[in-house]
Structure 1
Amino acid sequence: MILATVGTQLPFDRLLRALDAWAARNPDQRVRAQSGNSQEVFKNMDCTAFLSPAAYAGAVEEADIIVSHAGMGSILTAAELGKPIVILPRLAAHGEHRTDHQLATAAEMASLANVTVIESAEELGPALDRLSGAPTLPAAERISASADAGLIGAVAHFLRGAA
């Protein structure tokens, strides 16, 4: 199953349209989207505006591939689970965000083994085709859901003024 998540602030129809078109060409693939504030109707995928935290966690766990904006929550969740994620940054020029900070986020996260960054909606289909059947990352290559004990100790030491 492919899961798309577009965040909560503004619609991201550019991504959803591209995914819906890919789903039309790949009817054997189940595609689900947390479509946020979109007012469009998509015919080839199962859309829910906002999933509850429990439903979202279940959908992410079930997903073979995640498609997302460059939101840190989505990226970190995929990295924790070792799931392949395709990231299309939102752009202010398209009215998808107030700034273009997602470009910098995507560029930085592109170094993670499970991350594929695309620059245009037209690249989504080929990226999904390449990732089809891709395995999740081995546990050793995933990020931890919690901070390393050494880091926590160093921050605590610093906060106590002993830096």
Structure 2
Amino acid sequence: MIFVTVGVQLPFDRLVGAVDTWAGTRRRSDVVAQIGSSKLVPKHIRYQATMTPTEFRRCVTDATAVVAHAGMGSIITALELGKPILIMPRRAAFGEHRNDHQLSTSRLMAEQNIVTVAEDEGELIKLLDRIESLGRSAEISSHAGAQLIGRISAFIAEIDRGR
């Protein structure tokens, strides 16, 4: 199963539409999506607007791959569960977000080979055609490591000494 998620804050019809078209032309019946407040009504994929956190996590767990906006919650959940994730960032120019922070997020993560990024619908379709070959993500912990906790503690102590 391929799980698609666009979050719940704003519509992302461009991503939902591209995946729905792809699923229809490829005769894929294994696509499940959380489409948020999308105005688009998918014709070829199973979907619902929202999910509980438990439903969302179960869909990611059951998925062979995740397709998402460049939202950190979606990315982190996929990485925690070791799932390949293909992201397409929302664009402010298309009214999909208030700014282009998702472009920055996706580029930084792509440079580190953490995610696969599609810059637009055409690239998304090409990557969907080979989604099974994306490979698993390295699983990350759901908790901060000792090194990060130590650095944060040292930072806070330094601020306290400066008061």
Query: Common fold, TM-score beyond 0.5?
Result: yes
Mapped to 2, the partners of 1:69 and 1:28 lie a distance apart of 21
Mapped to 2, the partners of 1:134 and 1:157 lie a distance apart of 39
| 1:143 aligned onto 2:143 | no
Superposed CA RMSD in Å reads: 1.8
Q: Give the TM-score normalised by structure 1.
A: 0.89
Q: Give the TM-score normalised by structure 2.
A: 0.89
Mapped to 1, the partners of 2:67 and 2:92 lie a distance apart of 19
Counterpart of 1:60, as a letter, is V
| Residue aligned with 1:154, SS | helix
Deviation per CA, 1:15-68: give whole Å up to 9, x if none.
000000111022244001100001221110011100111100100000111111
Shift of 1:114: 4.7
Mapped to 1, the partners of 2:77 and 2:37 lie a distance apart of 21
Q: Which of these residues, 144, 150, 153, is aligned with residue 153 of structure 1?
A: 150
Structure 1 stretches of 5 or more lacking a match? none
Mapped to 2, the partners of 1:28 and 1:67 lie a distance apart of 14
Q: Which residue of structure 1 aligns with residue 86 of structure 2?
A: 86
Contact 2:91/2:97 (<8 A) preserved: yes
Mapped to 1, the partners of 2:96 and 2:83 lie a distance apart of 25
| 1:75 aligned onto 2:72 | no
Counterpart of 2:48, as a letter, is T
Counterpart of 2:83, as a letter, is K
Contact 2:57/2:77 (<8 A) preserved: no
Q: Which residue of structure 2 aligns with residue 107 of structure 1?
A: 107
Deviation per CA, 1:104-124: give whole Å up to 9, x if none.
011011134451101111111
| Residue aligned with 1:110, SS | helix
| 1:126 aligned onto 2:94 | no
Structure 2 stretches of 5 or more lacking a match? none
Change (3 A) 1:156 1:114: closer
Counterpart of 2:143, as a letter, is S
Alignment of 1:30-49 (within 5 A): 30-49=30-49
Change (3 A) 1:28 1:14: closer
